[in-house]
């Protein structure tokens, strides 16, 4: 049994806290809204994000970060990337250096395209760090549906320790040392999910969706090659697995965001309709920044960036992609 602090009481943070507590760990789930935390404490569920999902007895919601950190052996960071940047900046002095940190966030530092691992290293220095990613929807994990993830750390022992904490009869965890590849796969698949939503919103059909997923994966691999990631990572759970899930199921906020864009809504109207963070929105700008920085051709993600930040209509972006000259299928 381990003491764990989970920072972030949204749907994914809550689901992971429930998973960890269900495996016998003592878990404190840290939220910032006192009213919401009080309601979770009284009702023993997160009615806003995961209604009807009963908390295990070992899960304690709290607003007291100091209390949650006291005695914690692992700290799980489960905040949207923008909120995580602010959290690290504001609480760097309070966060201990002698515990392990696990990121279950997916995204990049706005304007700099820095990954979560880089943000944590900048804020905290050389701490034990792992990232957890894979094809998972919060509601299914909270309900105990079979799921599998990848845990990546440059410290193989810590990767195994994190995998051991989450691994259970209905939740499998595999390990790797490719932190870079896992973070790229988890962050950039959201951009491709927006594209898939646009495609399906225009009723282009299953053929187009399959082509988009396949060529989107090629873009991920090309960027990974340029940055030094392992190709096999993109063929695994944190790459292809997460990409297929996010592009094909309407539980994905990013896919739904693309569907709304295809209906003619502005990005602000689409965000308001969804009512939660859409990581692919900010990640699209960072994908374009990475493509330019490393000289990598990433036409699908670039087209999404055109729509979100350069005033293109979704129809114009599709026309641009379809007008590209034939080429070899090789990467």
| Domain identity same for 167 and 198 | no
Q: Which two tokens stand for residue 319?
A: 């026309």
Q: What is the pLDDT of residue 322?
A: 85
174-189 per-position pLDDT tens digit: 999 999 999 999 999 9
Active-site pick, 189, 267, 288, 315: 189
| Domain identity same for 49 and 78 | yes
**Is pLDDT above 90 for 326?**
no
Closest CA to 286 of 46, 90, 75, 111: 111
| Domain identity same for 225 and 164 | no
**Is pLDDT above 80 for 107?**
yes
Where a domain ends, among 177, 210, 227?
A: 177
Q: CA 60, CA 21: separation in Å to the nearest integer?
A: 9
**Is pLDDT above 80 for 287?**
yes
Q: What is the pLDDT of residue 27?
A: 98
The confidence band for 126, taking pLDDT boundaries of 50, 70 and 90, is very high
CATH of the domain at 212: 1.10.1040.10
Domain hosting 99: range is 3-177
CB atoms within 10 A of CB 275: 9
Where a domain ends, among 177, 206, 225?
A: 177
Spacing of C-alpha 119 from chain mean position: 15
Where a domain ends, among 177, 208, 239?
A: 177
Domain count along the chain: 2
CATH of the domain at 140: 3.40.50.720
Q: What is the pLDDT of residue 324?
A: 87
139-165 per-position pLDDT tens digit: 999 999 999 999 999 999 999 999 999
Average pLDDT (81-107) is 95
Q: CA 148, CA 171: separation in Å to the nearest integer?
A: 6
| Domain identity same for 195 and 272 | yes
Average pLDDT (30-54) is 97
Q: What is the pLDDT of residue 1?
A: 84
| Domain identity same for 102 and 126 | yes
Report if residue 48 sits inside a domain: yes
194 torsion bin: left (phi>0), alpha (psi -120 to 50), beta (else): alpha
- Mean pLDDT (the chain) is 96
The confidence band for 117, taking pLDDT boundaries of 50, 70 and 90, is very high
Q: What is the pLDDT of residue 199?
A: 96
Report if residue 328 sits inside a domain: no
| Domain identity same for 10 and 152 | yes
Q: Which two tokens stand for residue 5?
A: 């602090």
Average pLDDT (121-137) is 97
Angle ∠(232,304,210) on CA atoms, nearest 5 = 50
| Domain identity same for 206 and 83 | no
**Is pLDDT above 90 for 331?**
no
Q: What is the dihedral angle through the alpha carbons of 52, 55, 61, 66, rounded to the nearest 10 degrees?
A: -150
> Is the distance from CB of 296 to CB of 226 less than 8 angstroms?
yes
Report strand pairing: 147-152 vs 128-133.
Answer: antiparallel
| Domain identity same for 17 and 155 | yes
| Domain identity same for 157 and 9 | yes
CA distances 14 to 27, 303, 330, Å, are: 10, 34, 41
Q: What is the pLDDT of residue 303?
A: 96
| Residues forming beta bridges with residue 80, ordered by sequence position | none
Average pLDDT (19-29) is 97
> Is the distance from CB of 149 to CB of 125 less than 8 angstroms?
no
For the question of residue 189 being annotated catalytic, the response is: yes
């Amino acid at each position: 049994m381990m003491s764990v602090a989970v920072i972030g009481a949204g749907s994914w943070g809550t689901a992971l806290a429930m998973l960890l507590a269900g495996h016998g760990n003592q878990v404190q789930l840290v939220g910032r809204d006192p009213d919401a935390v009080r309601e979770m404490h009284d009702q023993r569920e997160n009615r806003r994000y995961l209604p009807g999902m009963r908390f295990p007895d070992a899960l304690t919601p709290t607003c007291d970060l100091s209390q949650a950190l006291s005695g914690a052996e692992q700290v799980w960071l489960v905040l949207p990337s923008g909120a995580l940047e602010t959290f690290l900046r504001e609480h760097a002095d309070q966060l201990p250096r002698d515990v392990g940190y696990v990121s279950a966030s997916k995204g990049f530092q706005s304007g700099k395209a820095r990954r979560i691992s880089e943000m944590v290293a900048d804020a905290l220095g050389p701490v034990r760090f792992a990232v957890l990613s894979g094809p998972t929807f919060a509601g299914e994990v909270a309900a105990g549906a079979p799921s599998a993830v990848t845990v990546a750390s440059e410290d193989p022992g810590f990767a195994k320790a994190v995998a051991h904490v989450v691994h259970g009869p209905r939740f499998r965890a595999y390990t790797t040392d490719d932190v870079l590849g896992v973070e790229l796969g988890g962050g950039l698949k959201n951009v491709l999910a927006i594209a898939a939503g646009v495609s399906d919103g225009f009723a282009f059909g299953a053929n187009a969706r399959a082509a988009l997923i396949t060529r989107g994966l090629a873009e991920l691999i090309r960027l990974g090659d340029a940055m030094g990631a392992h190709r096999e990572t993109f063929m695994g759970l944190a790459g292809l697995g997460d990409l297929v899930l996010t592009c094909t199921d309407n539980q994905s906020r990013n896919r739904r965001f693309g569907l709304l864009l295809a209906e003619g809504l502005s990005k602000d109207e689409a965000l308001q309709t969804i009512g939660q963070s859409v990581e692919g929105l900010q990640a699209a700008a960072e994908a374009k920044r990475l493509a330019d920085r490393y000289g990598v051709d990433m036409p699908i993600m670039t087209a999404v960036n055109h729509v979100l930040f350069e005033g293109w209509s979704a129809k114009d972006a599709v026309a641009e992609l379809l007008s590209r000259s034939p080429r070899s299928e090789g990467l």
